Structures are given as C-alpha cells and as structure tokens.
Amino acid sequence: MPTLPTSMVPLLNPILARLMAGVLALLVIGTIVGVVLARRATSETAKATVANLNARIRAWWVMVVVFAIAVATGGVGSIILFAAMSFLALREFMTLTPTSRADHGVLFWAFFIFAPIQYVLVWMQWYGLFAILIPVYAFVTIPGRMALAGDTTRFLERAATVQWALLACVYCVSYAPALLMLVVPDYAGGRTGLLFYLVLIAQLNDVLQYTFGKLIGKRPIAPTVSPNKTWEGFIGGTVVTVAIGTALWWATPFTPLVAAVMSLVITIMGFAGGLTMSAIKRDRGVKDYGTLIEGHGGVLDRVDSLLFAAPVYFHLIRFFYVP
C-alpha cells in the first residue's frame, strides 16, 4: 500500500478548503431563498413545493456535513461513508426486487461477502482485484450457487437481479472512493479533490435539473419513466452545471476545456443513472414492496446519479491522467 502524500490531509489542502467554502456559501444562499419563498408562497400548491424544497435543503445540510467529515478524515472516512451507502442502497434495491426463497444464501453472500470485500479492496488500494471482483467472481458464483439451490423458476431473472444489484449498488458506488487510488502527478487537490469534484458536479446537476424542471419544465423526456424529468430541466441543468464545472477547473487536474467535457460526462451519466433507477422503481413500484421504501427515504435515490458517473469518470482519469 503506497504511503499517503501530504495532500491527502484535506484540511491543509487549499483547493478543498475553497470548494468547501463555495458549497457552504451555496447552502446559505439556498437556505435564505427557501425562507424568503416560504414567506411569499400563498397558494396551497406553492406552499407544498416550497416545503418540499426546504426539506431538501435541510437534508443537504446534513449530507454536506457528513460528506465534509468523511473527506476531512482523508481516505478512510470516505471509504466508510460509501460502504455504508452501498449497504443501504443494496438493501433498498433487494427489498424492491422479488427474489425466491432459494436465493437466501446468495443474498447473504451479496451483503456479507462481496460488498465488504469490495470496500476492503478499495481501502487496500488493490486495483487489480477491485476492478474484477464483482464483474468476474460475483458474476460466476451467483448463478452457480443459485443453480445448486435447485429452484429453476425465472432463473435468469433472479440471477440477473442479484448480479445487477451488486453491480449497481456496490461495484459502481465503490468507484467513488476508489478515486482515492488515483495519483495524478502535479495535481494539488490530492485524491479527495477528484472525489469532491465528482460528487459536487453530480449532485449540483441533480439540484439544477430539479430546479429548472420545476421552474420551466414542460416536455417530459420519458413520461412513462419519470414525469419530473423534462427537456427544459435537463438542458438548463446541464448548461449551468457544465458552466460551474468549467469555472472550477482550477480545483481539478484538467484544463478548462477538459473540465467542461468531464462535467458534461458527469451530468449525462448522472441523468442516465437517475433515469435507469427510476425505470426500475417504476416497474417495481406497483408491486407489493413499493411502499416499503417510502418512509425510509431512499439512499438509492440520492446516489443514483453517481452510479454511472463514478466508474466512467474514474476510468477517464485513470486512462488519461495516471501514468
């Protein structure tokens, strides 16, 4: 395991400090706007929308503090945070999708063997095994174990469900803390800087697409999947997010042009991830356990924009920036 450079200590890292200050400023502005809107709202629907907005802003405060602590503790904190999110996301995902009584053993493996090992590999910075544990070893053992269990009803569907759950909730999510493995020469932001940039752009994109959608959204992109995702929201959110992402090029190892491309990749992947998870929810939502998630507030809803963005972002940086 390589020794950590001093730039891993993010509290001493001016780039992270400035990004953090920017996020806090945004949250303060958001909170003030929320208060003003709450005073001005008159109609019932407006009140409900503003209440929802303020609930989201409050949730953001909590999430930002948790994320800041995780990043400030360097590698380990982020790894624990994302491991916990993977676990909760996997739990929500598997609750939502039907499995058979015979799958109990396989589910146990997914939760207590593959998911923990994946994060131990991130912590060990063992890239070689990290990259193949789930696509190779989980992929072959899950159907093998299921076949041994003997239940052949909807076999492919059940095996694919567990494989997909592990890929999405564990493998993809683990790419975010895996960014700590990447050492980009002459980049002052340290490895947590890459992670911070990814999470910031992906979540900003979520917020902006939601905001533009609420303000000017008319034409839904995929009405059968998610009526809230509109062309206006998508384009407005993407344009502003890419503008902010480009303006933050100094916090990344990228040139302004590359920063623009990277932000665009993150926003498009974020949108695709969110839409895909919505499709799964829509499909399962009408079935028995759809309501089970509601009271719990989904972790999966929060990380869905990272699912596709994290691995692509990781491999782009690894390919182009890591010698």
Partner 1 sequence: MIERALARLARVIAGASVRFTVPLEPPERQRAYFGNHTSHLDFILIWSALPAEARVRTRPVAGADYWMRGRVRRYLATRVFHAVLIDRGGHGALTGHAREESSSRHVRDDTVVPSQVRDDARGAMRTIEAISRAMGDGTSIIVFPEGTRSPDGTLLPFRSGLYHLCQLKPELELVPVYLDNMTRILPKGEVLPVPLLSRVTFGAPLRMEMGEAKRAFNDRMRDALLALREQ
Q: Between residues 12 and 59, which has the closer beta carbon with respect to partner 1? A: 59
Could you tell me how far CA 45 lies from the centroid of its own chain? 30
Contact between 280 and partner 1 per CB under 8 A? no
Q: Which of 20, 179, 208, 293 binds partner 1 (CB under 8 A)?
A: 293
In eight-state DSSP terms, residue 10 is G
Tokens linked to 160 = 């694919």
Binding to partner 1 in span 40-69, by CB under 8 A: none
- Does 276 participate in binding partner 1 (rule CB under 8 A)? no
Answer whether 240's CB lies under 8 Å from 211's CB.
no
Q: Which is nearer to partner 1, 22 or 143 (CB)?
A: 143
* Spatial distance between the Cα atoms of 28 and 272, rounded to a whole number of angstroms: 29
8 Å CB contact between 162 and 107: yes
C-beta closer to partner 1: residue 143 or 298: 298
Binding mask 67-106 for partner 1 (x = CB under 8 A): --------------------x---xx-xx---x-x--x--
Contacting partner 1 within 100-159 (CB under 8 A): 101, 104, 107-108, 111-112
Draw the binding track, 211-250, toward partner 1 (x: CB under 8 A; -: no contact): ----------------------------------------
Name the residue among 245, 305, 248 with its Cα closest to residue 274. 305
Distance CA 301, CA 101 (A): 27
In one-letter notation, the amino acid at residue 101 is R
Helix (H, G, I), strand (E, B), or coil: what is residue 220? strand
Query: Burial, 298: exposed, middle or buried (Cβ in 10 Å; 0-12, 13-18, 19+)?
Result: middle
Tokens 């890459």 appear where? 194
CB closer to partner 1, 64 vs 146: 146
DSSP symbol at 136: I
CB of 292 to partner 1, least distance (A): 5
Point out which span in 1-9, 66-74, 257-265, 289-297 binds partner 1 (CB under 8 A): 289-297
Which listed residue (145, 289, 290, 316) binds partner 1 by CB under 8 A? 289
Helix axes 75-96, 299-321, angle to 10 degrees: 130
Closest approach, Cβ 104 to partner 1, in A, equals 5
Binding site residues, partner 1, CB under 8 A: 87, 91-92, 94-95, 99, 101, 104, 107-108, 111-112, 289, 291-293, 295-296
